[in-house]
Amino acid sequence: MNVRRITVLISGAGSNLQALIDARDRGDLQVEIIHVISNHAAAFGLERARKAGIASSVLEHATYPERADYDRKLAELIAEADPDLVILAGFMRIVGPAVLRRFAGKLINLHPSLLPLHRGINTYERAISSGDTEHGASVHFVTADLDAGPVISQVRIPVEPQDVPATLAARLSPREHQLLVATVELFSHCSVQCQHGVITLNGKVLDQPLVLKSNGAF
Ligand code: GRF
């Protein structure tokens, strides 16, 4: 089934959420953004959702001492709106088994590195200190291992000799937005499945991540 209804999980600024909203408003993305969930009440992305008329919820992890309780609550909250696809867009929590089980094959994450390089945090610093000549962002299916699920799509940018983490992040950000929009768009017009670690696009195995071109398409 092609994706029509998406839920977006955020923790902060929500610039990627905004990119999805803008693409939807331009008519470039044929999906309904049905729910935004944040684990921080102060996340600016909640304001973006409100302005766009999108239902939003806050589920503060700090109020759940047990990780498994938070995970179960989160699974229930996501399920209430019955999304076809759940997007972790700057959601800075590891999702646990209750969410993974309930939304298997429907959970994707945006990560600012060329996976499998630099899983986890501080990816810009690590790309520069490793002497990488390229950096980028990846969209992958979420599995139990952090940032290790099958990669659907990537965008690559050069690392310049004078780059510091902030300049690299600033250059990647607009490309990352395009990557997320193009990937969600793909889900809206193709069947993108992930079974036993293998991704198929309309039934055809994807053996390499799709790479975003400079025109914002794959
Ligand atoms: C993005 O860089 C994303 O790759 C990372 O967190 C950041 C979120 O930015 N996981 P925003 O909240 O969408 O502005």
Q: Report the nearest-CA residue for atom 14 of ligand 1.
A: 15
pTM summary value: 0.97
Mutate to test the pocket of ligand 1, among 110, 122, 146 (most ligand atoms within 8 A of CB): 110
**Residue 14 beta carbon below 6 angstroms from any ligand 1 atom:** yes
**Residue 169 beta carbon below 6 angstroms from any ligand 1 atom:** no
**Residue 138 beta carbon below 6 angstroms from any ligand 1 atom:** no
CA pair distance 31, 21, nearest whole angstrom: 10
Residue 156, both tokens: 């690559």
Contact 58, 31 (CB under 8 A): no
pLDDT mean for each 10 residues of the chain (218 residues): 93 98 97 98 98 98 93 98 98 95 97 98 98 98 95 98 98 98 97 96 97 96
- pLDDT score of 1: 60
Q: How are strands ordered across the β-sheet holding 210-211?
A: 56-58, 32-38, 5-10, 85-88, 107-111, 134-141, 151-158, 210-211
Cα–ligand 1 centroid distance for 110 (angstroms): 7
**Residue 209 beta carbon below 6 angstroms from any ligand 1 atom:** no
